[in-house]
Amino acid sequence: MNKTIKRILIGTVTLVLILALVAGGFMMKMKSEIKKMNVIETREVVINVFAVKDTFVNMFLVKDSDYYVAIDAGNDPLTITAGLKKLNIDPDKVMAVMLTHTDGDHVAGLKLFKNAKVYLSRDEEQMINGKTARMMNSHNKIDTKAYILLNDQQTIRVGGINIKGILTPGHTPGSMSYLVNDTYLFVGDAFGLKNGKVERPNKFFTGDMETAIQSFDKITMLPKAEFIFTAHTGFTNDYKNAVKTRLK
């Protein structure tokens, strides 16, 4: 075998091994971080607010009369379907899905909600149109092109439910929290909760920690808010106490 070809083969094999080690290390770290997550079991958490547990993530539904608004759409359609059945919620009665961001564990069940309009922040669109890559240079995607873009502080009404979008970037550039009926704050992965206090988001999954911490100020002065719901670390019914801690 000629020396040049031999060097090329050795270099190729070495590169493949390095990439395999990097990918393996990444997966091990990701699994370790996922094990730390503490999600809510599938149930009605408070009156007219329901959680569906989808392995390591929660999606939520807010009920208005006979209809629902979903916050995110979970990690696995089959698990979401089983959770909705347990809660006796017809997916056809979900009128809107509010995406906190577009990572795969928040969007997988979108096709289940055939009658729902899909909303996400204008700044998050870059994550699904190929402009901005996510972890390991991958790109996010969602199962619909018929989505509606929201601006920071924009309010919409779905039936009798008022929803205010609050841009809280950091986890992704367009992460958005939603304040529902001035009472329920859904933050997705923008922040975590620990011992009833808001804490900085998971560093491993956060694209820009400095921006994420700066976003915290935007959710500390909501005079009527009572609850905070997170995607991976549960909820609190004491908003005022939870946001007292200054993130650093």
pLDDT tens digits for range 128-170: 998 898 876 788 899 898 999 999 999 999 999 999 999 999 8
Residues 68, 118: Cα–Cα separation, whole Å? 13
Any domain includes 126: yes
Residues 75 and 180 in one domain: yes
The residue ranking higher by pLDDT, 18 or 70, is 70
Any domain includes 218: yes
Domain of 3 in residue numbering reads as: 1-35
DSSP for 18-67, please give it: HHHHHHHHHHHHHHHHHHT--PPPSEEEETTEEEEEETTEEEEEEEETTE
List pLDDT tens digits, range 31-58. Answer: 455 556 579 999 999 999 999 999 899 9
- Using the Cα atoms of residue 189, residue 193, residue 199 and residue 205 in order, give the sign of their dihedral: negative
Element (H, E) at 221: none
Q: Which residues of 21-58 are buried (b: 16+ CB within 10 A; e: fewer)?
A: eeeeeeeeeeeeebeebebbebeebeeebbbbbbebbb
Q: Provide the whole-model pTM.
A: 0.86
DSSP for residue 207: S
Q: Residue 145 is part of a domain; what is its CATH number?
A: 3.60.15.10
Residues 72 and 172 in one domain: yes
Residues 195, 236: Cα–Cα separation, whole Å? 9
